[in-house]
Amino acid sequence: MFEIASKLESLNLSFALVTIVKTKGIVPRKSGRMVVLPDGSSYGTVGGGDLERNAIKETQLAFKAKENRYISHKLPKGEVEMVIDLVKMNRKLYIIGYGHVGKAIGKLMYDCGYSIHILDREEKVCPYAAAIKIANSWDKLLEGIELDEDCAVVITTHEKEEILKHLDLSKAFYVGFLSSRAGAIKYEPNYFVPMGLDIGAENPEEIAISVAAEILKTENKKSGVSISRDIRKCILVRGCGDLATAVMIRLHNAGYNVLGVDLEKPTQIRRNVSFAEAIYEGEMSVMGVKAKKINNVEERFDLWKDSIIPILVDEKLEKLNEIKPAVIIDAIIAKRNLGTKLDMAPLVIALGPGFEAGVDCHIVIETNRGHSLGQIIKKGRAQDNTGIPGLIMGYGKERVLRSPCKGVFKGVKTFGDIVKKGDVIAYVDETPILATIDGMVRGMLRSNLEVTEGFKVADIDPRGEGIKYNEPSDKARAIAGGVLEAVDSFFNRAM
């Protein structure tokens, strides 16, 4: 059994080792091991009969799930517990055309743990190949070859059309062709033609490195960019309200590492679409993207790895030197600059009025509703703040409710509630706040916060039923699009 396991291991062929680790009562064996292959064939024994058949069945399920298992099998008067250890995963590389390049790729991918399967029309020798098939015609050579999602295929011959005619490549997770750039156009877009990452490779060994890296990148669903550069693609967003959240979601979905910072007690009213809520609740999800509060900047790396946006309390950017972002986005929407400076990062973007591009930031994004919403401004300012919210169904300032006095806010209505003009929607201490128009409550300040007279506490949308109050607004999305365009342009030039 161990000789077989050693042979399989030396060829990178997939197998599992099933071992008895504990028994109770009357059992066929107190100890035992067996080697099991993905097709169910086995060597050695753990006791035979139903016990062994069940162990083989569970091992095949472990192969499909690609994870080890601990199983228990009950007998009439006993019990056997076993560990299923996947020693080699099912990773296959088919090399069609074993010339200089194919040979270099095969050696490198063998060292990476792939079983190597060689297909050629001339006699070939490879001591570490799991299989070598030789035939003088493509139909015979490719006959019986069935690919699956664990297979990568590398084609180095000039007779590519013949191969495509006789082999179904659709299930392989990677299909690469040795080709010129000009020859790439006619092939399916999901094929890698020419194969390999652009590292300036010329000789077979260099080409092998570029192809191996591309195969591993594809298998592991990674970006393939430099790790050091990827870590430095950090974007810090000041403010985590609804507009900032839309920006963070857009950048996050585009593959950037985003970090949000805000006050210890944020006062946004569209809380259900604001990552600032994570500061109170620990975490917050908007449009399927999760944000989580962190207590120190080191925690951001683990969250980025898990595709989560970290949120940090850092009103005055005291942690800026630790974070060292490539981009800073001021999304506080305070209508004035609260300390953002041009030299804080290689690219500084500010949303809305209060900033001048080229003076205290590199780019200003227009936030005023209208034809220019989301526009990238590289010189000058955004449109002045009118102090009047954009019109919806003819309503502007009536949509926004403000505190009638100083005190502690207490909400009565919540997001999505339909209200009529005159309904009580909240209180400041004992003073009621009444709805100014009919519509749907779209924004509501968190209860138990202290407010001053005139403080914005709620927002009513006159369109009423059917409004997607739990998604970023059209305005927020337009602004986010402008930010993403500016950021993409910056990194494309920098890289």
| Alpha carbon distance 44, 2 (integer Å) | 9
Low-confidence winner among 22-26, 165-169, 181-185, 204-208 (lowest mean pLDDT) = 181-185
Q: Which of 461, 464, 402, 406 is nearest to 434 (CA)?
A: 402
- Residue 389 has a pLDDT of 72
84: confidence class by pLDDT, cuts 50, 70, 90: very high
pLDDT of 144 over the 70 cut = yes
- Residue 467 has a pLDDT of 83
| Alpha carbon distance 420, 30 (integer Å) | 76
| Alpha carbon distance 101, 99 (integer Å) | 6
pLDDT of 495 over the 60 cut = no
Low-confidence winner among 16-25, 181-190, 411-420 (lowest mean pLDDT) = 181-190
- DSSP letter for 229, please: H
Low-confidence winner among 32-36, 345-349, 466-470 (lowest mean pLDDT) = 466-470
Q: Could you report how far apart the first and last alpha carbons of the chain are, in Å?
A: 53
Strands 424-428, 283-286: pairing is unpaired
Q: DSSP 3-state assignment of 91?
A: coil
| Alpha carbon distance 79, 39 (integer Å) | 26
Q: Which of 231, 246, 248, 226 is nearest to 325 (CA)?
A: 231
**What number of other Cβ atoms are within 10 A of residue 318's Cβ?**
9
Q: Which of 207, 208, 206, 211 is nearest to 224 (CA)?
A: 211
Q: Which of 280, 286, 234 is nearest to 260 (CA)?
A: 234
Residues linked to residue 291 through DSSP beta bridges, in sequence order: 284, 309
**H or E stretch covering 370:** none
pLDDT of 128 over the 60 cut = yes
pLDDT of 307 over the 80 cut = yes
pLDDT of 30 over the 90 cut = yes
Structure tokens given for 411:
């909400």
- Residue 229 has a pLDDT of 63
| Alpha carbon distance 209, 242 (integer Å) | 45
Cα dihedral 110, 114, 117, 120 sign = negative
pLDDT of 221 over the 80 cut = yes
- Residue 232 has a pLDDT of 66
- DSSP letter for 256, please: -
185: confidence class by pLDDT, cuts 50, 70, 90: low
Mean pLDDT of 81-106: 94
148 against 186, higher pLDDT: 148
Q: CB–CB of 425/448 below 8 Å?
A: no
pLDDT of 108 over the 60 cut = yes
| Alpha carbon distance 292, 250 (integer Å) | 17
327: confidence class by pLDDT, cuts 50, 70, 90: very high
Q: Which of 9, 196, 12, 215 is nearest to 116 (CA)?
A: 12
Q: Is 313 exposed, middle or buried (0-12, 13-18, 19+ CB in 10 A)?
A: middle
Mean pLDDT of 395-402: 89
Which alpha helices (H) appear in 191-290, and where do they start and end?
204-219, 227-232, 242-253, 277-281
Mean pLDDT of 172-185: 80
Q: Return mean pLDDT, the chain.
A: 92
Whole-prediction pTM value?
Answer: 0.63
Cα atoms found within 13 Å of the Cα of residue 208, Cβ hemisphere only: 20
Mean pLDDT of 316-326: 92
The amino acid that residue 137 corresponds to is: S
387 against 177, higher pLDDT: 177
Structure tokens given for 34:
């067996």
Mean pLDDT of 105-130: 95
Q: Is 451 exposed, middle or buried (0-12, 13-18, 19+ CB in 10 A)?
A: buried
Q: What is the pLDDT of residues 426-482, one digit of tens each?
A: 999 999 999 999 999 999 999 999 999 999 999 999 998 878 888 999 999 999 999
69 against 390, higher pLDDT: 69
Q: CB–CB of 285/303 below 8 Å?
A: no
**What number of other Cβ atoms are within 10 A of residue 66's Cβ?**
10
Q: What is the pLDDT of residues 227-286, one digit of tens each?
A: 666 666 899 999 999 999 999 999 999 989 999 999 999 999 999 999 999 999 999 999
156 against 394, higher pLDDT: 156
Low-confidence winner among 96-100, 171-175, 176-180 (lowest mean pLDDT) = 176-180
pLDDT of 406 over the 60 cut = yes
Query: Considering the chain, what percentage of its residues have pLDDT values greater than 90?
Result: 81
Query: Considering the chain, what percentage of its residues have pLDDT values greater than 70?
Result: 96
187: confidence class by pLDDT, cuts 50, 70, 90: low
Q: CB–CB of 354/373 below 8 Å?
A: no
Q: Which of 369, 371, 370, 351 is nearest to 361 (CA)?
A: 351
Mean pLDDT of 40-44: 94
Mean pLDDT of 112-137: 94
Q: CB–CB of 240/263 below 8 Å?
A: no
DSSP symbols for 270-304? -GGG-TTHHHHHSEEEETTEEEEEESSGGGHHHHH
| Alpha carbon distance 453, 435 (integer Å) | 17
Q: Which of 312, 295, 355, 313 is nearest to 331 (CA)?
A: 355
| Alpha carbon distance 458, 441 (integer Å) | 8
Which alpha helices (H) appear in 76-132, and where do they start and end?
100-111
